[in-house]
A and B are shown apart, each in its own frame.
Chain A
Amino acid sequence: MSEHMQLSLALCRIGLYTCFRALCCKGPPPPRPEYDVVCVGLTGAGKTSLLSHLCSEGSDHIVPTTGFSIKAVPFPNAILNVKELGGADNIKKYWSRYYQGSQGVVFVLDSASSDEDLEAARNELHSALQHPQLCTLPFLILANHQDKPAARTPNQIKKYFELEPLARGKRWILEGSSTDNMEAVKESFGQFISLLEDKDTEPARI
């Protein structure tokens, strides 16, 4: 009996809701534009953690990605369909299989890693910047783990990675990041989205 009432109430609610929408001329909100981006970086850089935080998901269960992880990351004015790829050696060799169709690249690196790992990250970033399927796309480079004492500053990273000469003529943004400050991360992505939106304008540099 109560189930019947529940159903009737639910139907009434739906009826009222659709009336409300019709009366107030409230159509569905305009859909946000979507962009397909690929997210790469060495294992441990923090790709999965950053993306999980952006989606307001907890980070206790995070383990190294052993394949791809496609996630729809919502922002106020866009949705990024991010294809995140694991960074372990046995997975890195498949990265280029996922480049086709990308409209932008997010590259995450551990600012506090060893010199050796930083050099490996630099090599990977340079490869990506020069890859035929990525070389004309906007890049968001996140110098992650800024909260760690051993972290190099974004300026140091920019210098070491030779971004000024190497990425000249390309559209890229380099920002420090840390999961401790997700507001700043969201702002960095906001700037990246502007690059994705303005495909024809002047390259922006930070």
Chain B
Amino acid sequence: MKVQQGCNSSDMGIPVRTEEELRRNTVITPEDVLGLQKITKDYLCSPEENVHMIDFTRFKIRDMETGTVLFEITKPPTPAGGKKNCDPNAGRFVRYQFTPAFLLLRQVGATVEFTVGNTPINNFRMIERHYFRDQLLKSFDFEFGFCMPSSKNTCEHIYEFPALSEEIMREMILHPYETQSDSFYFVDNKLVMHNKADYSYSGGP
């Protein structure tokens, strides 16, 4: 399962789309999001649309050249009869804080662990787009394929860091959280989940 890594939609012959256009559709497809040129202002689907009960339970990043684990987070189990979280988007936004050295990495292995509800999923696919101030840095397209019912699955894919100019790296470091990403998840080519993240490379909060 190779990760498709592209940059500009126009290079791939995909029509440019805007967030507003997509919101008018009843169904959002992979080709739709591949046409987006900037980070979306809001989520393109609601948490309720995750009808397959896909739940991300663990995330880890390691440097492929040294094997060093750079970051790892596990979702705490929900307490029985737990309080409903006041923020409905809490589970789908992550803020990452890295040091500037992170931008010098070439190959990073990102492991995601997720569980699936009791119906099988035929074709699970993720498209993740990274932007710095509305400039697309990199787009990743990964097909998980078939997911067994009631399974817990892990997947590690390798991210090749895009070649960033010194100037962009400097700007990214000096402007924390202006680097952002949209992760879109599709089942049978229909958007079911949308997660967001932002990134700081200044080494501090």
Contacts and interface: CB of A to CB of B under 8 A. Distances in A.
A161 interface: no
A56 B67 CA distance: 8
Given A13-B100, A56-B67, A81-B1, A67 B148 contact: yes
Contact of B154 (A7, A13, A69): A69
Interface in B117-167: 144-148, 150-158, 160, 163, 166
A17 interface: yes
A94 B1 contact: no
Interface residues of B, number: 38
Interface in A69-124: 69-72, 74, 79, 81, 83, 91, 94, 97-98, 101
A72 B156 contact: yes
A67 B147 contact: yes
B170 A11 contact: yes
A66 B64 CA distance: 26
A14 B155 contact: no
A28 interface: yes
A97 B146 contact: yes
Contacts of A17: 104
B191 interface: no
Contact of A101 (B1, B64, B67): B1
A15 B166 contact: yes
A32 B52 CA distance: 36
B53 interface: no
Contacts of B67: 55-56, 74
Nearest to B109: A72
A181 B169 CA distance: 43
B189 interface: no
Contact of B156 (A3, A66, A71): A71
A201 interface: no
B145 A98 contact: yes
Nearest to B62: A55
B100 A70 contact: no
Contacts of B153: 67-70
Contact of B2 (A3, A34, A83, A98): A34
Contacts of B154: 67-71
Contact of A7 (B2, B109, B148, B174): B174
Nearest to A63: B152
A67 B152 contact: yes
B158 A72 contact: yes
B105 to A, nearest CB: 11
A29 B106 CA distance: 9
Contacts of B111: 71
B164 to A, nearest CB: 10
A11 B155 contact: no
B124 to A, nearest CB: 11
B156 A70 contact: yes
Contacts of A6: 203-204
A184 to B, nearest CB: 20
A202 to B, nearest CB: 28
A150 interface: no
22 contacts: A7-B174, A10-B173, A13-B100, A14-B100, A14-B170, A29-B106, A31-B160, A34-B2, A36-B1, A36-B2, A67-B154, A68-B153, A68-B155, A69-B154, A70-B156, A71-B111, A71-B156, A72-B156, A79-B64, A91-B148, A97-B145, A98-B145
Interface of A: 3, 6-7, 10-11, 13-15, 17-18, 28-29, 31, 34, 36, 55-56, 66-72, 74, 79, 81, 83, 91, 94, 97-98, 101
Given A15-B166, A66-B152, A70-B153, 13 more contacts: A7-B100, A11-B170, A29-B106, A31-B160, A34-B2, A67-B116, A67-B147, A68-B151, A68-B155, A69-B155, A70-B144, A72-B156, A94-B146
